[in-house]
Amino acid sequence: MTVFRSTLSAVAAAALLAACNLAGARSKPVALPDPAVDVAANPAATTETAVFAGGCFWGVEAVFEHVRGVKSAVSGYSGGSAPSARYLLVSTGRTGHAEAVRVVYDPKQVSYGQLLKVFFSVVHDPTQLDRQGPDVGPQYRSQIFAANREQQRVAEAYIAQLEAARAFAGPIVTKVAPLDGFHPAEAHHQDYLEHHPDEPYIVYNDAPKLVHLKRMFPALYRAPHG
């Protein structure tokens, strides 16, 4: 059952926390090796784009916004066949879209491989199929949308590397596919953690990810603006 993520009453908040526990939301990140292969640096490139899906886009966006070298992180939808996407339709799980985040970054400050490492270790649990914690459905799947063949090659190689190292207790279910469109989400979904830091869903599911990011990636962590 998909949890409808809105402002919660005390009773609903308690039920959500119980659901999170029952759903096995991962409370600790996983220490992972650096990617053995990475996207070759292009000295002429000032920015590159990567798109990741790993559950509710609020937390995915918040983590990447705090990664040094990331210029912007935008919540949206990818992977569906429809020419447009809206939350109420995507949340039915029938459009084929995943909640995703478009990350624009400076490859001179952070590499694609480093973003992958953050994605797998801090952002989400890549062993949960079509869900993350309390959120259930194909729209919450783990997927990497590669902007080009090089990204796809590196992402697939890193997954194979992690599987060979048995980095996780279960198999990695993350899909890798070419990026075929990205639809920005509605305005109220953007920078959601920043605007709603005390919402129970955020406190339990997403705020800890920033703590883990700072602890595990001190050289990459960027403090909030202001």
Strands 183-184 and 70-78: antiparallel
pLDDT digits (tens, 9 = 90+) for 164-176: 999 999 999 999 9
pLDDT of 215 over the 90 cut: yes
Q: Is residue 142 part of a domain?
A: yes
Strand locations in 15-114 (E)? 48-54, 70-78, 98-105
Residues marked active site are found at 56
Q: Shortest CA distance to 93 belongs to which of 48, 41, 131?
A: 131
Side-chain-side CA neighbours of 153 within 13 Å: the count stands at 8
Residue numbers of the domain that contains 77:
44-216
Number of domains observed in the structure of the chain? 1
| Residue 6 confidence class, pLDDT cut points 50, 70, 90 | very low
| Residue 27 confidence class, pLDDT cut points 50, 70, 90 | low
Higher pLDDT: 37 or 44? It is: 37
Q: Is residue 121 part of a domain?
A: yes
CATH number at residue 82: 3.30.1060.10
Give the model's pLDDT for residue 42. Answer: 86
pLDDT of 39 over the 70 cut: yes
pLDDT of 4 over the 80 cut: no
Q: Is residue 14 part of a domain?
A: no
Instruction: Enter the pTM of the model.
Output: 0.89
Q: Is residue 209 part of a domain?
A: yes
Q: Is residue 25 part of a domain?
A: no
Q: Is residue 17 part of a domain?
A: no
Q: Is residue 148 part of a domain?
A: yes
Lowest-confidence region among 26-30, 134-138, 180-184:
26-30
Q: Which residues pair with 146 in a beta bridge?
A: 178
| Residue 84 confidence class, pLDDT cut points 50, 70, 90 | confident
The SS3 call for residue 158 is helix
Q: Is residue 90 part of a domain?
A: yes
Amino acid found at 68: R
User: Sign of the C-alpha dihedral, residues 207, 102, 225, 111?
Assistant: positive
Write down the mean pLDDT value for the chain: 89
Averaged pLDDT, 178-193: 97
Give the model's pLDDT for residue 81. Answer: 84
